[in-house]
Structure formats: structure tokens, C-alpha cells
Structure 1
């Protein structure tokens, strides 16, 4: 089992040493489920990208802003949210590490209950 705090620290160190100000490590990959620790130094960003079928973002350290069509959402350490289904990006407001949990494919006819409930709102 991986230690998320240690992974966050290591990825932040790697991001600070990177010319692009970011670093990521896929540490759990089980069929359609993936968990990745992503670190960004303040001001660094992940450009807009397509959303996986289902995903959540938990801030382990720092403060980030999810960007996209809805105008964005700011999150701080300890907060977790579902990622937007439309194209979105991520901007580090301060040095940050996040845990991205993503399902890369949802079999036809199956929908996670959280997504189904969000659709009803």
C-alpha cells in the first residue's frame, strides 16, 4: 500500500525540480480504475482536456482551481469533488498535490450511483 502523504511530498519535490512545474505518478491501476497523484507548483496548470467517464479530485496539499465552461471551482487541502464531465483544466493557486481517481470506461448500461444521482439534480 502506498503512503499518500509521502507520494504527495515526493511529487511536489519532483514538480519543483521540473521545468514545467508539474509531476504525476500513477500508483494504482486496476482494470478501469486509476489513481494518480499530481503535483503542480503555484501558477502551473494542466491545460483543458477531455473528462474520463467518472472521476474525482481530492486536494492533498495546497489550493487549486478547476477551470472550464462553468467558470471554475477553487478547492483547498482536504476537499474532494467530482471532476466536470466537460473539458476542464487544473491551475495551482499555490504549490499543490491532488489525488485523481478515474474510471476510464463504464460498461454500457452501467452508471456509478453518484453520476446517476448528479443527473437527477
Structure 2
């Protein structure tokens, strides 16, 4: 059993993003490429985004701080702390409306590799 303070990780990742030329930071808190479940805390400064991509399996974004926008084609959804977005099938990107931190979760069946 492990315990992780997402609040502490979020604060740390946001501080790292503010000192990074790319204006972003990420830390995997659970799993990884060798597991079927991967959870990563991602910080993006305002007006930054994750490039459009497609993930296999189930993918969610849980907003910890700030405001994000999920864009899939012509559709978009905004989310604030406490909101959970289930990402649709197909290509999508995540934009930071303000400085933001979110928990990105991707679960894939064994034998399927994620593109992200």
C-alpha cells in the first residue's frame, strides 16, 4: 500500500512548471508503461496545452487546480477543480485556461500500448 498526497504533488509540479522553459511539468504517481493503469499529475501554465493525441483504453482528467479545456474536434468542455472529464474516443488536446494541475489517468488492456 502506498499513499500519495496529490495536493503536495500538484503544488510541486506547478512550481516546477513555473521554472521550466516549456511551462509544463509531469510526474507519474502510479503505474507506468509496464502497467495497465497509469496516473500522472500534469501541470500546465496558462495558455499552454498538451498536443493533440489519441489514447487507447479509458482515459480521464481530474482537475486539481486551475481551469482546463478539453478539445475534441469542434467540441470543447471546460473543467475546474473537482471536475472529472472522461475523454472521448478520437483525437483530443488539453489546454490550460489558467495555471492548472490535473490527474491524467489512462487504463489499457494488457498487451495494448498507450500513445501517451
> Which interval holds the TM-score relative to the shorter structure?
0.7 to 0.9
Are 2:83 and 1:86 aligned? Answer: no
Runs of 4+ residues over 6 Å off in structure 1: none
Which residue in 2 is equivalent to 1:103? 107
* C-alpha RMSD over aligned residues: 1.7
Structure 1 SS opposite 2:75: coil
How many residues align structurally? 108
CA distance 1:106–1:86, shift in 2 (3 Å): farther
User: For residues 82 and 107 of structure 1, what CA distance do their matches in structure 2 show?
Assistant: 22
TM-score (structure 2 length as normaliser)? 0.86
Deviations 1:12-33 (A, max 9, x none): 0011111111100011007200
Gaps of at least 5 residues in structure 1 are 109-121
Q: Compare CA radii of gyration and give the structure with the larger one.
A: 1
The structure with the greater share of residues assigned to helix is: 1
